[in-house]
């Protein structure tokens, strides 16, 4: 009788989990490689279960808080960057351009398509977003992006406050397998 009750409770838990928005059930036999390739094909919102074992990163310089995989390591060369064998993120900011987030993404794609650089492949996609209630946009690579770019995707977010009437932009680069997780958990420190 006890075993039947445990099985019933597990079946109910599995059913409820499969009905929850933003939750993806992954069979226990899945390897990290399988999970990464499935994440690359589907837009998946970050959930507490996805990021629960991630470390918290807070930057006083960039005024942001986010989480990243615990096994990634900091790269002290250049801007704030963390990376591991399955991905990376890097932060920078600027108030010099005078462009909105959308205009900056469009400019990045125009430069990419001019042939001067090939950061995103031949057919990158711009997605207009809100990140922590701020205007943002994401440039996602096409399938023919050079492999050495490691799935580079670029997020541009307008900071909550304007500096002397100028828009300050946060530039967040990450691999395409993690970028949507980062987007859903990125917060400005106010």
Tell me the average pLDDT across 10-22.
Answer: 31
The closest alpha carbon to 59, from 90, 88, 29, belongs to: 90
* Predicted confidence (pLDDT) per residue in 129-176, tens digit: 999 999 999 999 999 999 999 999 999 999 997 666 666 999 999 999
Question: How far is residue 165's CA from residue 2's CA, in Å, rounded to a whole number?
Answer: 67
Residues in a beta bridge with 64: 59, 188
Q: Where are the domains of the chain?
A: 46-188
Q: Tell me the chain's radius of gyration from C-alpha atoms.
A: 19
With a CB cutoff of 8 Å and minimum separation 6, the contacts of 60 are: 189
pTM of the entire structure? 0.71
pLDDT category, 50, cuts 50, 70, 90?
confident
Task: Note the pLDDT tens digit of each residue in 71-85.
Answer: 999 886 656 789 999
- Say if residue 187 is exposed, middle or buried (CB neighbours under 10 Å; 0-12, 13-18, 19+): middle
**pLDDT above 50: residue 27:** no
Determine the 3-state secondary structure of 172 from DSSP.
strand
Fold of 46-188: Protein Transport Mog1p; Chain A (3.40.1000)
């Amino acid at each position: 009788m006890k075993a039947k009750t445990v099985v019933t409770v597990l079946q109910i838990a599995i059913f409820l989990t499969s009905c929850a928005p933003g939750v993806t059930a992954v069979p226990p036999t899945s390897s990290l490689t399988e999970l990464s390739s499935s994440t690359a094909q589907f837009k998946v919102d970050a959930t507490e279960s996805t990021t629960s074992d991630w470390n918290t990163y807070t930057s006083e310089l960039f005024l942001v808080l986010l989480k990243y995989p615990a096994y990634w390591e900091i790269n002290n060369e250049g801007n704030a960057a963390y990376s591991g064998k399955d991905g990376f993120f890097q932060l920078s900011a600027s108030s010099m351009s005078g462009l909105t987030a959308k205009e900056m993404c469009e400019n990045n794609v125009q430069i990419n398509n001019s042939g001067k650089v090939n950061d995103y492949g031949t057919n990158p996609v711009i997605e207009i977003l809100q990140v922590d209630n701020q205007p943002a946009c994401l440039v996602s690579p096409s399938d023919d992006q050079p492999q050495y770019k490691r799935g580079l995707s670029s997020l541009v977010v307008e900071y909550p406050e304007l500096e002397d009437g100028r828009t300050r932009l946060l530039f967040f680069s990450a691999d395409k397998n993690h970028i949507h997780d980062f987007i859903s958990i990125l917060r400005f420190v106010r």
